[in-house]
Amino acid sequence: MYTFLVVLILIVCLLLAVVVLVQNSKGGGLAANFSAPNQFMGVRRTADFLEKATWWLAIILVVLSLAATASIPHRHAEDTLETEVSLDNNISPVTTTPTAPAAVPQAE
C-alpha cells in the first residue's frame, strides 16, 4: 500500500510540475498561443482550467502524502523488544571495573 501511494505521489508531482510550467506568470501561458476567437476553449477558460488543475493537484498531493504517512509500515513494540533481547543474548558487553592501585611499599 505504501509503495502504491508513493508511486501515485510521484505521478501527481510530475503532473503538477507540467501544469505549473505550462502557465505563464503574466496570465498568458498555453492560452496565449491559441487565442483565436472561434476556439472551443478561449484564453480565459484555458487559464481557469490550468489554475483549477493546479489547485486540485496540490490538494491531491497533500491528501496522498498524509495517507502515505499514515500507512508507513511500523514495527510493533514486541518485535522491537524481541530484537533487543536477542541482541543482548548474542553480544556480551565488555565491562571492566576499575581497580585500585596497589599499595606502594614504603621504604623503612
pLDDT in tens, 50-105: 889 999 999 999 999 999 999 988 776 555 555 555 555 656 556 677 777 777 77
Q: How confident is the model at residue 4 (pLDDT cuts 50, 70, 90)?
A: very high
Beta carbons within 10 angstroms of residue 29's beta carbon:
19
The SS3 assignment for 39 reads coil
Q: How confident is the model at residue 33 (pLDDT cuts 50, 70, 90)?
A: low
The SS3 assignment for 15 reads helix
Q: How would you label 50-63 residue by residue, b for 16+ Cβ within 10 Å and e otherwise?
A: beebbeebeebbee
| E-assigned strand segments in 31-90 | none
What span, in angstroms and rounded, lies between the C-alpha atoms of 97 and 99?
A: 6
Is residue 32 within 8 Å of residue 50, measured between CB atoms? no
Is residue 13 within 8 Å of residue 61, measured between CB atoms? yes
Looking at residue 94, its pLDDT comes to: 60
92 vs 1: which has the higher pLDDT:
1
Residue 108 confidence (pLDDT) above 80: no
User: pTM of the entire structure?
Assistant: 0.55
Looking at residue 26, its pLDDT comes to: 63
The SS3 assignment for 30 reads helix
